[in-house]
Copies of this chain bind each other. A is one copy, B any other.
Amino acid sequence: MSNKMNSPLSGIIPPLVTPLLDNDVLDIEGLEKLIEHLIDGRVHALFVLGTTGEAQSLSYKLRVEMIKNTCRIVNGRLPVLVCISDTSIIESVNLARIAADNGADAVVSAPPYYFASGQPELAEFYEDLVPQLPLPLFLYNMPTHTKVNFAPATIRRIAEDFRVIGFKDSSANTVYFQSVMYAMKDRPDFAMFVGPEEITGEAVLLGAHGGINGGANMFPKLYVSLYNAARERNMEELLRLQKIVMQISSTIYTVGQHGSSYLKGLKTVLSLLGICNDFVASPFHRFEKPERDKVRKALENLDLNLVLK
Contact = CB atoms under 8 A, between A and B. Distances in A.
A219 interface: no
Among A121, A128, A235, A242: residue with most chain B CB under 10 A: A121
A3 interface: no
A301 B144 CA distance: 35
Nearest to A285: B124
A108 interface: no
Interface string A230-245: 0001010001001100
Contacts of A284: 115, 117, 121
List the number of copies, as a whole number: 4
Contacts of A88: 56-59, 281-282
Contacts of A198: 174-175, 178-179
Interface string A7-29: 00000000000000001100000
Contacts of A58: 88, 90
Nearest to A92: B282
A283 to B, nearest CB: 4
A291 interface: no
A265 to B, nearest CB: 15
Nearest to A173: B172
Contact of A246 (B61, B179, B243, B247): B179
A57 B91 CA distance: 9
Interface in A105-125: 111-118, 120-122, 124-125
A258 B117 contact: yes
B172 A199 contact: no
Interface stretch (A38-46, A159-167, A181-189, A292-300): A181-189
9 contacts: A56-B114, A58-B90, A59-B94, A115-B283, A172-B174, A173-B173, A179-B198, A205-B235, A233-B233
